[in-house]
Structure 1
Amino acid sequence: MADITLPKAVENFVAAINAHDANALAAVFGDGATVRDVGTTYAGTAEIRDWIQRQLINPRIVITPTSFAGDRLVASGDGDFPGAPLSFALVFGIKDDQVTNLAIDPV
């Protein structure tokens, strides 16, 4: 795989997921951030922290970026979940090196 250059916020997001570090991952999101993960929206710090723990940390997700263009990261996600590994598209809204919104869908 060729090296992929990622914005700092996306780089931090990937590193925190792969380290299974819930606090570092929560710190990637700015105030008032939202996450839409396969049709369900999580808004605000408490909901996003809950989503992080249930959907990323507990199943020990590891993501491997395969491409990044514009605001869209395509990555393979592996972990303790049905059908793993799966490919996902993650579309980021970023301001001041923090994620303001994130939309995740299967590819």
Structure 2
Amino acid sequence: MSVITLPKAVGDFIAATNAHDATSLATVFSDTATVRDAGKTWTGEAELREWIQGHLIDPKVVLTPTSFAGDRLIASGDGDFPGGPLSFALMFAIKHDKITDLAIEPV
């Protein structure tokens, strides 16, 4: 099995998501970050905390990276939601080890 090398912010995002740690997860994003997921956009700290809780913490999402190239992570996601596990593409923009933009799409 090959080892996938991730940028620090992406590795921190995966670790905090899998630990179901909303506080740590919020710290991997910049104050003005944007997340696009499930046909909606969340921007800024308050909206991101809402997205984190509703889309990652409450459904107890666990992400298993399968590949990473450029800014695109492919991961299997499982949790308390129907149809799992599902494959997702997560496209990251990172500045100063903080996620500034994240777009998530089913693969």
Please indicate the TM-score interval, normalised by the length of the shorter structure: over 0.9
- Following TM superposition, by how much is the alpha carbon of 1:38 offset from its aligned partner in structure 2, in angstroms? 2.5
Name the aligned partner's letter for residue 5 of structure 1. T
In 2, Cα distance between the equivalents of 1:39 and 1:103?
10
Q: Cα RMSD over matched residues?
A: 0.6
In 1, Cα distance between the equivalents of 2:6 and 2:18?
15
**2:25 maps to 1:25:** yes
Q: Which runs of 4+ in 1 moved over 2 A?
A: none
Relative to the length of structure 2, the TM-score reads: 0.98
In 2, Cα distance between the equivalents of 1:13 and 1:78?
15
Name the aligned partner's letter for residue 47 of structure 1. E
**2:49 maps to 1:49:** yes
Q: Figure out how many residues of one structure are paired with residues of the other and give that number.
A: 107
In 2, Cα distance between the equivalents of 1:35 and 1:64?
19
Relative to the length of structure 1, the TM-score reads: 0.98
Q: Is the 8 A contact 1:38 1:106 kept in 2?
A: no
Which runs of 5 or more residues in structure 2 are unaligned? none
Q: Is the 8 A contact 1:73 1:89 kept in 2?
A: yes
In 2, Cα distance between the equivalents of 1:26 and 1:84?
24
The aligned counterpart of 2:36 is: 36
CA offsets 1:8-46 (integer angstroms, 9 cap, x no match): 000000000000000000000002100000321001100
Give the alignment of 1:1-12 within 5 angstroms: 1-12=1-12
Q: Is the 8 A contact 1:65 1:75 kept in 2?
A: yes
**Between the two proteins, what is the percent identity of the paired residues?**
69
